[in-house]
Amino acid sequence: MNMSERRVVITGIGVISPLGNTKDEFWKNILAGKSGIRRIQSMDVTNYDCKIAGEVVDFDPAPFFNNHKEARRADRYFQLAMAAAKMAAKDSGLNPDALDPHRVGVMVGSGIGGLRTLETQYEILLNKGPGRVSPFLIPMMISNIASGMIAGEFGYMGPNMAIVTACATSNNNIGEAWRIIKFGDADCMICGGSEASITPSGLAGFGNMKALSMRNDEPERASRPFDKDRDGFVMGEGAGVMVIEELEHAKKRGAQIYCELTGYGATADAYHLTSPHPEGLGAARCMEMAMRHARVNPTDVDYINAHATSTPVGDVCELRAIKRTFGDHAKKGVLVSSTKSMTGHLLGAAGGIELAASVLAIRDQIAPPTINVENQDPECDLDVVPNAARPAKIDVALSNSFGFGGHNAAVLVSKFVD
């Protein structure tokens, strides 16, 4: 079987998010149009201009680790990643004892990595000296440790890496895992992303860039993609992890199949440090590449989970890219929504939970809403599924993620037909 003939399906989903710590709770709240944005509780935000975020609450990492010491030692981003990976594996019914460990790999990335650990240990360095810095600082902080330790937990010795492309991280990890299976170097991959950067330096850094919403008095209404009054994104945290498999491998073990992962695109804007190309050229080519790999036409795409972070520039640039790519179908046939209106922007984990939403949209034939669209921007003049989920025929869905540095990544999923 050559590369193009190997079909890849999604068989497991794990989600930790501001809207719930299971995929079912997350999806229920998405469809209800519930906001997970609130005043930050994990740190004192008195001196910060932005005081709101999409935090993960009521999360206990201990059940996902072998002992309390191991759980306590792990950076929060790694805790979230391990939890989502174990949930995805359980959802998929993976049994390590029944699999060839050399044919199963892991690619779970993080845009920033262990920022909380870095801050904590740097404070110890300054106040108590180098001798008091934890010997676990480096392995707790680095962005690849989740992939390495998830593999170690299950004993999977296949391809293992962590791509770091800022807010495109999850989609790049999922897409390149798809390539690995297509190429024949693995039969199953655990892939996605995790982020936990609601920390003093994370909040200050994004805040001083003037990238964040300052709607502190109305947290639930702060993330408002496509709305004329949007004033910046809202930080979020969490993890989204998928189990993807070669079709025959999944069928042989009797796995459930959510949908087929059919296309992936990755491009660069080569334009600016943080701003997208004003005409969305890189994003357009990215979506075109995903469709070309999937062998679908623009008119075949029913739903797009947009990157749309609720920034004045970014939302418009993405919709320009969609119009460039889909032509008349952009206005007449495709639904475009941003679940970041409810979760905030999970940075390197965004693509993971947004692909989960896209997959579940196909399963349940319903489009997630964009909430807080009270005065839709005339430049965002597509059907953005405003304010309420909508039953719809969704056989093909596209999930976009774009990151600082001009990274663009799109993943395309299709209803499974044997």
Active site residues: 167, 307, 345
User: Cα(204)–Cα(200) distance, rounded to whole angstroms?
Assistant: 6
Bridge partners, residue 12, by sequence: 243
User: Cα(194)–Cα(415) distance, rounded to whole angstroms?
Assistant: 26
Read off the amino acid at residue 9: V
How is residue 132 written in tokens? 């008091």
31 SS3 class: helix
User: Cα(382)–Cα(226) distance, rounded to whole angstroms?
Assistant: 9
Written as one string, the DSSP assignment of 251-320 is HHTT----EEEEEEEEEE--S-SSPPPTT-HHHHHHHHHHHHHHT--GGG--EEE----S-HHHHHHHHH
Residue holding tokens 């997630």? 368
User: Cα(342)–Cα(220) distance, rounded to whole angstroms?
Assistant: 8
Q: Within 10 A of 58 (CB to CB), how many other CB atoms are there?
A: 6
Q: Within 10 A of 148 (CB to CB), how many other CB atoms are there?
A: 17
* Span between the terminal Cα atoms of the chain, in Å: 17
Q: Within 10 A of 183 (CB to CB), how many other CB atoms are there?
A: 12
Residue holding tokens 């947004």? 354
CA nearest to 191, candidates 211, 210, 171, 168? 171
DSSP 340: H
Angle between helices 350-364 and 23-31 (to 10 degrees): 70
What's the Cα-to-Cα distance from 207 to each of 57, 67, 204, 273, 391, rounded to whole Å? 22, 37, 5, 16, 37
CA nearest to 283, candidates 240, 241, 326, 242? 326
